[in-house]
A and B are shown apart, each in its own frame.
Chain A
Amino acid sequence: MCRALAAVGRPPHEIAFVSGIGCSSRIPGYSTAYGFNTVHGRALPIAQGIKMANPELLVLVAGGDGDGFSIGGGHIPHAVRRNLDLTYLVMDNHIYGLTKGQLSPTTHRGAKTASSSFGSFEQPVNPLLYMLAYGAGFVAQGVPGDINGLASLIEEAIRYPGFAYVNIQSPCVTFGEEADQAKAQRLAMRPLADEGHDPGDRLRAMDLARGYGEVLHTGVFYRNPEPPPVWEGRIRELQEAAL
Chain B
Amino acid sequence: MVSDLIIGMAGSGGDGIVSAGDALIATAAEAGYYAMLTKSFGSQIRGGESSCRLRVATGPVQNPGGVLAIAVALNWEDFGRFGLELPVGPRTLLIHEAKSGARPLNVRLAIAAPIEELSVSAAGTPRAKNSVVLGLLAGWAGFDAGRLLDRLRKKLGRKGEEVLAANERAFAAGLDFARGRPVSEEFRLGPPAADARPRVIRDGNEVCASAALFAGCQFFGGYPITPATEIMQILQKEIWKHGGALLQAEDEIAGIGAAIGASFAGKKAMTATSGPGLSLKTEMLGLASAAELPLVCVDVQRGGPSTGMPTKREQSDLFAAVFSAHGDSVRPVLAPTCVADTFTVTLDAFNIAEAYQTPVLVLSDQEIAQRKEAMDPLSTEGLKVVDRRRPTPEELQHYVRFAATDTGVSPISQPGMPGGAYLAAGIEHDESGAPSSSGQVHARMNDKRLRKLDPLKRRSDLFRVEGPDDATLGLIAWGSVAGICREALGLAAAEGLKVKLLVPRLLYPVAEEIFEAFFASLRTCLVVEQSQQGQFHRILRMWTEVPAEFFSLAESGANPITPADVLARLRAFSTHDSLPVQRLPQRPQADLVSRMR
* A residues adjacent to B (C-beta < 8 A): 11-16, 18, 21, 26, 28-29, 32-39, 42, 44-54, 56-57, 74-75, 77-78, 235, 238-239, 241-243
Q: Is the CB of A57 within 8 A of B251?
A: no
Q: Is the CB of B261 within 8 A of A53?
A: yes
Is B172 part of the binding interface, using a Cβ–Cβ cutoff of 8 Å? no
Given A18-B261, A74-B251, A238-B240, check contact A52 B424 (CB 8 Å).
Answer: no
Q: Is the CB of B415 within 8 A of A16?
A: yes
Q: Is the CB of B423 within 8 A of A239?
A: no
Closest to B291 in A: A36
Given A13-B416, A52-B219, A74-B251, check contact A242 B241 (CB 8 Å).
Answer: yes
CB neighbours of B240 from chain A (8 A): 235, 238-239, 241-242
Size bracket, chain B contacts: 35 or more
CB neighbours of A16 from chain B (8 A): 264-265, 415
CB neighbours of A238 from chain B (8 A): 240, 245
CB neighbours of A36 from chain B (8 A): 261, 264, 291, 423-425
Q: Is the CB of B418 within 8 A of A13?
A: yes
Q: Which of B155-163, B252-260, B309-317, B329-337 contacts A (4 or more CB under 8 A)?
A: B252-260
Q: Is the CB of B269 within 8 A of A37?
A: no
CB neighbours of B413 from chain A (8 A): 34
CB neighbours of B221 from chain A (8 A): 45, 49
Q: Is the CB of B265 within 8 A of A33?
A: no
Q: Is the CB of A45 within 8 A of B265?
A: no
Closest to B293 in A: A36
Cα A206 to Cα B290 in complex, Å, equals 42
CB neighbours of A239 from chain B (8 A): 240-241, 243-245
Q: Tell me the chain B residues, 212-264 only, with Cβ under 8 Å from chain A.
A: 218-219, 221, 240-241, 243-245, 247, 249-251, 253-255, 257-264
Cα A50 to Cα B219 in complex, Å, equals 10
From DSSP, what is the main secondary structure of chain A's interface residues?
helix
Is B287 part of the binding interface, using a Cβ–Cβ cutoff of 8 Å? yes
Is B515 part of the binding interface, using a Cβ–Cβ cutoff of 8 Å? no
Q: Is the CB of A11 within 8 A of B247?
A: no
Is B503 part of the binding interface, using a Cβ–Cβ cutoff of 8 Å? no
CB neighbours of B261 from chain A (8 A): 18, 36, 45-53
CB neighbours of A37 from chain B (8 A): 423-427, 435
A-B contact pairs, 12 of them (CB 8 A): A29-B423, A35-B424, A36-B264, A37-B425, A37-B435, A48-B247, A49-B221, A49-B257, A53-B219, A53-B269, A57-B265, A242-B241
Contacting A12 at CB < 8 Å: which of B257, B421, B426? B421
Cα A46 to Cα B249 in complex, Å, equals 11
Q: A29-B423, A37-B435, A50-B415 are in contact. List 10 more A-B contacts (CB 8 A).
A: A33-B421, A34-B415, A35-B422, A35-B423, A45-B257, A46-B260, A49-B247, A52-B245, A52-B247, A53-B266
A45 to chain B, nearest CB (A): 3
Cα A210 to Cα B251 in complex, Å, equals 30
Cα A24 to Cα B236 in complex, Å, equals 36
CB neighbours of A242 from chain B (8 A): 240-241
Looking at A11, A15, A50, the one whose CB has the most chain B CB atoms below 10 A away is A50
CB neighbours of A57 from chain B (8 A): 265, 415-416
Is B142 part of the binding interface, using a Cβ–Cβ cutoff of 8 Å? no
Looking at B218, B262, B415, the one whose CB has the most chain A CB atoms below 10 A away is B415
CB neighbours of B501 from chain A (8 A): none
Is B420 part of the binding interface, using a Cβ–Cβ cutoff of 8 Å? yes
Q: Is the CB of B421 within 8 A of A50?
A: no
CB neighbours of B264 from chain A (8 A): 16, 36, 46, 49-50
A92 to chain B, nearest CB (A): 22
Is B283 part of the binding interface, using a Cβ–Cβ cutoff of 8 Å? yes
Is B489 part of the binding interface, using a Cβ–Cβ cutoff of 8 Å? no
Closest to B254 in A: A45
Is B579 part of the binding interface, using a Cβ–Cβ cutoff of 8 Å? no
Looking at A11, A16, A32, the one whose CB has the most chain B CB atoms below 10 A away is A16
Cα A16 to Cα B218 in complex, Å, equals 19
A230 to chain B, nearest CB (A): 13
Q: Is the CB of B434 within 8 A of A29?
A: yes
Q: Is the CB of A49 within 8 A of B258?
A: yes
Cα A35 to Cα B291 in complex, Å, equals 11
CB neighbours of B421 from chain A (8 A): 12-13, 32-35
Q: Is the CB of B258 within 8 A of A52?
A: yes
Q: Is the CB of A46 within 8 A of B257?
A: yes
Given A42-B254, A49-B221, A78-B250, check contact A54 B287 (CB 8 Å).
Answer: no
Q: Is the CB of A13 within 8 A of B249?
A: no
User: Nearest 9 CB-CB pairs, A to B?
Assistant: A49-B261, A49-B258, A45-B257, A45-B254, A53-B262, A242-B241, A53-B265, A46-B261, A78-B250
